[in-house]
Structure 1
Amino acid sequence: MLNIKELRKKQDITQKELAEKLGIERSKISQWETGYCLPKVTELPKIAKALNCNLSDFFD
């Protein structure tokens, strides 16, 4: 399971701030964090960079 919410909170940034870094709507971040949908695999490196983490940090 992706730990986007935990990683985002460790960076002390809001969903809005993360969305702005990624150039997407805030609602998409919320959907990822609640498990409603998941980011595309191709988006993961960009998300990791925005959260200052490694791809392996996303997974339990």
Structure 2
Amino acid sequence: MTLEAFGKLFKPAVDKSTVLRWENGKLPVRRVLEIEKVTGIDRRMLAPKMFKGLEAAE
């Protein structure tokens, strides 16, 4: 998936340069939660330092 296509998964859509910043570690907590919702990837996998020690949601 391209950066542009990934950005379009969000409402409102985000620019590919923003997605690139996320890939490079500049990922705000609220975006981690949005990405988790859109992709199904657990927040602890997306940002392990932010969510260290949290139990998995069931």
TM-score of the aligned structures, taking structure 2 as reference length = 0.61
- Quote the RMSD (CA, aligned, Å): 1.8
Larger % of helix: which? 1
Q: Radius of gyration: which is bigger?
A: 2
Higher RCO (C-alpha under 8 Å, 6+ residues apart): 1
Give the ranges of 4+ consecutive aligned residues of structure 1 lying more than 4 Å apart after TM superposition.
none
Q: How many pairs does the alignment contain?
A: 46
Where does structure 2 lack aligned partners over 5 or more consecutive residues? 50-58
Q: Percent identity?
A: 17
Where does structure 1 lack aligned partners over 5 or more consecutive residues? 1-12
